[in-house]
Amino acid sequence: MRLKIQLSYNNFTVPMSYQSILQGVIYSLLSKDELGDFYHNDGYHYDKKTFKCFTFSQLFGKYKIENKHLIFDDDFYFYISSLDEKFLKHIYKTILLNNSLLINKQQVKIKNISILNLQPFIGTKKICIETLSPMLIYSTKDNYSTYYRPSDKESLNFIINNIQDKCLAYHYPIKELVFKIDHIIYEKRRMMKFKNCFYECFMTKLEIETNFETLSLIYNCGLSSKNSCGFGMIDIAHEKSNISL
């Protein structure tokens, strides 16, 4: 399940690394009871790893860059996705009860909120996906992190292992995990700062082979690591005309 949140504010301004600001806005839309505490402080666990079961996109709209800040003309929007419908329904209801959101000390008008869902399909399908926020693939050993491009030979195993870990953490039943990268159309390197850490990540467009269960998980929760920090949100770019179901 996915929400598209459309906003408006003349000359809305955020620093170029604004993911932690958006994450804070999302947490502020949750209640202060057990639900908000669970997502903010706890989450889902598997093998000493923690997953928050949601992701969000970059901001989209016309903007200019001044003094390491993005300044949006007027209208802009972003997406939030989650496998947990209770999480998104709570955010949806909170937004409906308000006319504006406080983002980076600016009272931003809420223009519209809409619900989006992935179209189901049967069997295995070749589709094209693209990132709506940069994908982060990395490993850590002895406090040293190694970052990978989507095209690196190690990346597919990291992605599949991450999907498997999420399935186990969320208790999400997948009869058969299907994820194969057929072709990388592009990969654009980004250096992103989240709070006090810098990450090497990639905006990318991939032709993949998958089934609905696997695609639904990565569509709703994100692809690869640190999705709740604003990494790895994907969307369907287009479908190949010679698809065999």
Is 40 designated active site?
yes
pLDDT-flagged residues of the chain (< 50): 239-245
How confident is the model at residue 95, as a pLDDT? 95
How confident is the model at residue 161, as a pLDDT? 95
How confident is the model at residue 243, as a pLDDT? 33
How confident is the model at residue 230, as a pLDDT? 96
* CA dist., res. 57 & res. 138, Å (int): 20
CA distances from 197 to 6, 38, 202, 229 (A): 29, 24, 16, 12
**Active-site choice (9, 27, 148, 219):** 27
How confident is the model at residue 245, as a pLDDT? 28
Please answer whether residues 177 and 159 qualify as being in contact, where contact means their C-beta atoms are separated by less than 8 angstroms. Answer: no
Structural domains present in the chain: 2-116 (3.30.70.1890), 124-239 (3.30.70.1900)
How confident is the model at residue 216, as a pLDDT? 96
* CA dist., res. 21 & res. 54, Å (int): 16
How confident is the model at residue 46, as a pLDDT? 78
How confident is the model at residue 35, as a pLDDT? 64
CA distances from 227 to 19, 54, 84, 133 (A): 11, 7, 14, 9
How confident is the model at residue 131, as a pLDDT? 98
* CA dist., res. 99 & res. 57, Å (int): 22
Burial of 129 (0-12, 13-18, 19+ CB in 10 A): buried
* CA dist., res. 201 & res. 131, Å (int): 11
How confident is the model at residue 34, as a pLDDT? 56
Provide the edge-to-edge strand list for the sheet that holds 179-194.
Answer: 179-194, 197-211, 124-131, 234-239
The DSSP string of 145-201 is: EEE--TTSTTHHHHHHHHHHHHHHHHT---SS--EEEEEEEEEEEEEEEETTEEEEE
Q: Which residues contact 14 (CB under 8 A, 6 or more apart)?
A: 21, 59, 69, 70, 103, 104
How confident is the model at residue 179, as a pLDDT? 97
How confident is the model at residue 199, as a pLDDT? 95
Is 9 designated active site?
no
**Active-site choice (9, 39, 40, 147):** 40
